[in-house]
Amino acid sequence: VTFGGGQLNRAAELRGDKQEMRRLEADPRTRILALWRGKPLVRQGESAELVWLERTHALLAHASGPRVFLGLEADSDAALFAFDVSDWEPEGKVGPSPGFLDVTRQHFPDFADDIRFVELRSVMAEMTPLEAELAATGRSLAQWHRGHRFCPNCSSETEPVMAGWERTCAVCGRRHFPRTDPVVIMLVTHGNSVLLGRSHGWPEGMYSLLAGFVEPGETIEAAVRREVFEEVGVRVGRVGYLASQPWPFPASLMIGCRGEALGRRLIVDDGEIDDALWLSREEALDAISGHRDGLFLARRGSIAQFLLYNWLADRLD
């Protein structure tokens, strides 16, 4: 599964060692991933590769905020960092990003034309597992720092520590950690059929698995049953865990589950979702191979597609 882990050596034991961090930052072998407003710098050819910069590169003069230590490269032990260069102003007007529909690609003048800042969701499935993990980690942390400058306890400005993996408040002493928000995403079946839904605002004809945030005080299983009942009025019996996916948009962990529906009658809550339907295995296969007009299933790189494909291939058990 995309973002499913690339065995990055995070070398977390080094994060608290300020002297070593200073040494690594100055080391000429160190390589830096630049992120601009959540978009990594990518070279787009047949596949997508992250572009790693030397510390002295002109683009990094625009870096602001903490330098996040991502880890050590496996074969060379070179340090990998993520820098946030969101203060750089590209030429031309930049509007608010429309999220996964963002097709704009920003170009820093020094680079070849195929090197640009790109929306991660548009290239995630073309990356190696290690680079996908690095991009997801860098993006999550950069966005966390941008949105969590002030202490939620006393409103004072906090300081990044632990090589970018923590913030502390000098006024009240609280420590703050990067957040990860659990989301359940469920492959709900009834006999030979799977339950799919679509959110408001999705591209026309696109359907995916139902999903929702786990609430405080709730188990994963309870969240699966509650979300399905709230969205489509279907009761779910047995629930099991299948796989997970970090989803750094901005800070989710998708927890992929399967659930057995106790009935098929759908009562769609149109405040929650736009539509829902049951598809048989054969119909789902047709949709995936493009033989059902106007019906598209979950995007490439999403855990929803991964779970659906494995269900269709009978590989879930």
Q: How far is the CB of 152 from Zn ion (least distance, A)?
A: 8
Residues of this chain, 143-172, that bind Zn ion according to CB under 5 A: 151, 153-154, 156, 169, 171-172
Nearest to Zn ion of 74, 172 (CB atom): 172
Q: How far is the CB of 175 from Zn ion (least distance, A)?
A: 10
User: CB of 311 within 8 A of CB of 187?
Assistant: yes
Q: Can you list the pairs that 17-22 forms with residues at least 24 positions away whose Cβ atoms lie under 8 Å?
A: 21/69, 21/163
Nearest to Zn ion of 22, 149 (CB atom): 149
Which string of x and - marks every residue 168-207 that binds Zn ion (by CB under 5 A)?
Answer: -x-xx-x---------------------------------
**What is the C-alpha to C-alpha distance for residues 80 and 29, in angstroms, rounded to an integer?**
9
Residue 21 interacts with Zn ion (CB under 5 A)? no
Q: How far is the CB of 141 from Zn ion (least distance, A)?
A: 20
Q: How far is the CB of 174 from Zn ion (least distance, A)?
A: 5
DSSP-assigned beta bridge partners for residue 213: 183
**What is the C-alpha to C-alpha distance for residues 155 and 169, in angstroms, rounded to an integer?**
9
Q: How far is the CB of 149 from Zn ion (least distance, A)?
A: 12
- Count the site residues for Zn ion by CB under 5 A: 8
User: CB of 234 within 8 A of CB of 188?
Assistant: yes
Neighbours of 187 (CB within 10 A): 23
Name the DSSP class of 127. S
Nearest to Zn ion of 151, 209 (CB atom): 151
Dihedrals φ, ψ of 221, to 5°? Answer: -60, -45
Contacts with Zn ion, residue ranges (CB under 5 A): 151, 153-154, 156, 169, 171-172, 174
